Amino acid sequence: MKQQRDFPWQSDNAQRAICAGARKKRRERMLDASDIRLLMMHFLANGSAHGYELIKSVEELSKGEYSPSPGIIYPNLTLLEEMDAIRVVDAHASRKAYALNDGGRALLAENGENIANIIERLTSLAILVNNRSIPEVEQAIHHIRHTLNHRLSQEDISPESLEIVINALNEATEKISNS
């Protein structure tokens, strides 16, 4: 039987359950549906495009690090069309191309700051991945992850050892933040 430890950060079993549940969640979505709609209108402001071209535009903005699924793009194109923000350029074409309407231009004007934030998030994701791929950074991340997992996989870690690990991680976080 495992012994109950008396750690200040472990006193609430409910909090530990929440943390465990958070680890099991899928990766957080990069953009929600309203962000996608704004981004699509932003790209359509530059000219008409097919749904696939809009997916590729988002991919290009994030340097391939984020690609919205067709299941997010096409229903939102339909919604934007119903909102009279976009229109189909040629209804008889084999692939629908969409163009921005006056309603879409007005929405873009109202949400300029939101669009700038969305674009910044996607471009910073590309920068993050680029910087993480620097060999020395990759090696350091791998080393800390391996060492931490090895240490934390041991069953009977003393409170003192856990405190050392936590303090080291907090110190490293502070140094990185202040660099």
Q: What is the mean pLDDT of residues 54-71?
A: 93
pLDDT, tens digit (0-9, with 9 covering 90-100), for 128-154: 888 988 999 999 999 999 999 999 999
Q: Per-residue confidence at 53, pLDDT binned at 50, 70, 90?
A: very high
**Joined tokens for residue 111:** 């949400």
Instruction: Give the per-residue pLDDT at 29.
Output: 66
Contacts 24+ apart (CB under 8 A), 129-135: 129/63, 129/65, 130/63
What residues have CB less than 8 Å from 33, skipping those under 6 apart? 72, 76
Lowest mean pLDDT among 19-33, 43-57, 147-161: 19-33
Instruction: Give the per-residue pLDDT at 8.
Output: 46
Give buried/exposed letters for 143-173 (b at 16+ CB in 10 A, else e): eeeeeeeeeeeeeeeeeeebeeeeeeeeeee
Cβ–Cβ under 8 Å, residues 165 and 148: yes
pLDDT, tens digit (0-9, with 9 covering 90-100), for 1-15: 444 444 444 444 455
Is residue 113 over pLDDT 60? yes
Calculate the CA 76 to chain-centre distance. Answer: 19
